[in-house]
Chains A and B, each alone.
Chain A
């Protein structure tokens, strides 16, 4: 079962970040992740394949997601992250708390 931006299979869920990670999309991701964690997911994959720009508010919300996942004993993976967003994650310390998979 999944929403338009999420798909779930067993203990993993994939959440689409969208083209612009800002406060609005960050809160959506946060909501969806919370739902999946409550459903018992143990691995949340946030898909950045369509994400062109991120801002600091969106990133700070992601850190909240990581905290929530950690409390629930789940892991968070950021997948298909473009080079620039990888740079921003490193600047703001996100990479220390989640797995960041750059796009190929």
Chain B
């Protein structure tokens, strides 16, 4: 029987293929479940962050949970043209979704039944209040005062909600500005947010402030790279796109991990039946998308919203092109107005561009965007429409430039992933005392050189000289405060923590810690350390820090000369090992977990004589690295051997290979053994009865492992196994 919880109602992806939004979904579910009968949660998001699917996934969870509140999802559409029509569509959706919920029949939503059908469908207890709403809709007459019409429409619905509490998910709130008298819709929603019996979740672009009362605010962050990769892999499987690393990483980083952009690119690849196995594959599809695909249409629509008139769009395109130039320092608002020359429509146009993050207007001026797909699109538009370039040449150039850029993007990603996480670490400084030796590399080397981490931590616990950390109230990448540092170091490798010494919030105790992770293959030299001390002094001066501490980090630490110099300047210096120990001492989640990155290993072995032993020995070595006890290791090895034998014996594999993936989280080992060939459903039952002594492999796997799932995949079979365990002490 199909697991109901895996059945989608409104969401477009099965829940197991929706990644990276667990915290947001849990927060919304908790809000829905509160006994509080009113309230509004505002979910603010960047363009393309995938908020619609977040709301739909939450809706589905609530639908299957059968709670007291009926979930209602509603997306505001400009195609309604007027606020009143939009409000009436909201009531209709309320009726349809309420009926679907009451009857536990998700398909009713897709059928879009007529009003009379809805009245006849619902169970008796709900017929009265739903019938009143149906009559309200059927009897509506347009009135001249739009606000009264919208208000009364909402009023009718809110009276219905008294009979049956509901939680409304209002998506695409910013589209209301394109409705005739959209302001009345916003007012009605604001009133609803403060009405008993109504729980509201509104999704709004993060730069928008439509002023709807909200009791809580969820700021949807960018999807992590790790989750974006998982999303790409899952979507590629369902779209039947052949995919390979590092193409996956390139897609994620090039599209800034924005789900909407990723979906557009994957759909384009799926429709064109293209694989995404190489940089060239990715950039070919991406180039098509930014020039004439879904992404291009999305950007074009926003430009049209800002300025319907083609000449004005051209001026905007040219302005954006210059703004996005990597050398650009930005514009003043006056310069922007002058260049775009939009006259009376300028405020609305620029507001639309700002809202959709085509540019950033602040008190300091106007700056560009980090959205790579948008930058590429504007560049193409400029070259075609303004510079009058030959289309074939522009397409070719865009592709070649993207291919040249691809390795640089991945290099940035790799360096970022291997960074020490200084910003997060500084953010955790809370004026506690920590061993001072962790900030002095030569002292650390002389006291603890050659000793294991466990020994060092035990010694640190016995109270050596201590250092009181500042209480950091705000940490930020240095580049955000001092742009020139970007010429010298990647963004993630330098951070500033602003705070106070000794928890004393007074001027004299205010302090800034400026940290940087140096690039040095061996112990950093005095010359290198001095170079950085001078640079960070400049940062402090430029930012006006009267009290500051410099903290240098190098993978292998610092030479003795470097340490002498650093001590004379009152600076701290640590190796990566000292940083890791500091985290351990402070009981922070290790950097890998902060990125939610499990360790993954993949092995492919040919089917053949005893090759399962190769896999077994490999997983044994890996498990030993994670300090798992010998009993657990033996159990895992045996289960793996059985899975490999199962793949070899039953699969009729065309390539004769067994694909294995091992994933180590903190207290868990996950293994997947898969093969191409016959799926379970394709296999014929055994021709002759066995004596009951074969087929024990699966039984053994189930006894030895905590979870075993055997499933058909597209072209074969996959066995997934999980063992929960504690590392040996």
Contacts and interface: CB of A to CB of B under 8 A. Distances in A.
Interface of A: 20, 22, 24, 53-57, 59-60, 63-64, 83-84, 87-88, 91-92
A83 B630 CA distance: 10
Contacts of A53: 613, 616, 637-638, 641
Given A55-B697, A91-B700, A84 B638 contact: yes
B608 to A, nearest CB: 12
Contact of A55 (B631, B638, B699): B638
How many chain B residues sit at the interface, stated as a range, is 20 to 34
B230 to A, nearest CB: 33
Nearest to A54: B638
Closest 4 CB pairs of A and B: A84-B634, A56-B696, A60-B693, A56-B697
A24 to B, nearest CB: 8
B245 interface: no
Interface string B602-616: 000000011011001
B628 to A, nearest CB: 14
B657 to A, nearest CB: 19
B729 to A, nearest CB: 19
B703 A56 contact: no
A24 B700 CA distance: 20
Given A59-B696, A84-B634, 7 more contacts: A22-B610, A53-B641, A55-B638, A55-B641, A56-B700, A64-B693, A91-B704
A57 B700 CA distance: 11
Nearest to B693: A60
A92 B696 contact: yes
A83 B637 CA distance: 14
Contacts of B703: 91
B645 interface: yes
A91 B634 CA distance: 14
Contacts of B637: 53
Interface in B629-648: 631, 634-635, 637-638, 641-642, 645
A22 B645 CA distance: 10
A53 B636 CA distance: 11
A60 B696 contact: yes
A57 B693 CA distance: 8
Contacts of A22: 610
Contacts of A87: 635
Given A53-B613, A92-B700, A63 B638 contact: no
Contacts of B638: 53-55, 84, 88
B694 interface: yes
A22 B609 CA distance: 10
A9 B638 CA distance: 34
A60 B613 contact: no
A interface SS class: helix
B interface SS class: helix
A57 B649 CA distance: 11
20 contacts: A20-B610, A53-B616, A53-B641, A55-B641, A55-B645, A56-B696, A56-B700, A57-B645, A57-B694, A60-B694, A60-B696, A63-B693, A64-B693, A84-B634, A84-B635, A87-B635, A88-B638, A91-B699, A91-B704, A92-B696
A20 B637 CA distance: 12
A63 B693 CA distance: 8
B635 A56 contact: no
A22 B616 CA distance: 14
A91 B705 CA distance: 13
A53 B610 CA distance: 11
Contacts of A54: 638
Contacts of B699: 56, 91-92
B700 A84 contact: no
A84 B631 contact: yes
A21 B191 CA distance: 74
Contacts of A84: 631, 634-635, 638
Contacts of A60: 693-694, 696
B703 to A, nearest CB: 5
B380 to A, nearest CB: 59
Interface string B204-227: 000000000000000000000000
Nearest to A64: B693
Contacts of B641: 53, 55
Interface in B690-717: 693-694, 696-697, 699-700, 703-704
Contact of B642 (A20, A24, A55): A55
Contact of B613 (A20, A64, A83): A20
Contacts of B694: 57, 60
Nearest to A82: B634
Contacts of A63: 693
A72 B324 CA distance: 89
Nearest to B616: A53
A53 B693 CA distance: 19
A22 to B, nearest CB: 7
Given A63-B693, A91-B703, A56 B642 contact: yes
A60 B582 CA distance: 53
B706 to A, nearest CB: 15
A60 B247 CA distance: 46
Interface in B494-511: none
Contacts of A55: 612, 638, 641-642, 645, 697
Contacts of A92: 696, 699-700
A81 to B, nearest CB: 13
Nearest to A55: B641
A62 B631 CA distance: 23
A60 B642 CA distance: 13
B454 to A, nearest CB: 26
B658 to A, nearest CB: 14
Contacts of B704: 91
B363 to A, nearest CB: 69
B192 to A, nearest CB: 61
Contacts of A20: 610, 613
A51 B631 CA distance: 15
Nearest to B697: A56
A84 B703 CA distance: 13
A92 B703 CA distance: 10
A91 B698 CA distance: 12
Contacts of A57: 645, 694, 697
A16 to B, nearest CB: 17
A43 B696 CA distance: 27
B262 to A, nearest CB: 43
A83 B642 contact: no
Nearest to B609: A24
A72 to B, nearest CB: 19
B631 A83 contact: yes
A63 to B, nearest CB: 6
Contacts of B642: 55-56
Of the listed residues A24, A55, A64, the one surrounded by the most CB atoms of chain B closer than 10 A to its CB is A55
A43 to B, nearest CB: 23
A92 B700 CA distance: 8
Contacts of B700: 56, 88, 91-92
Nearest to A25: B610
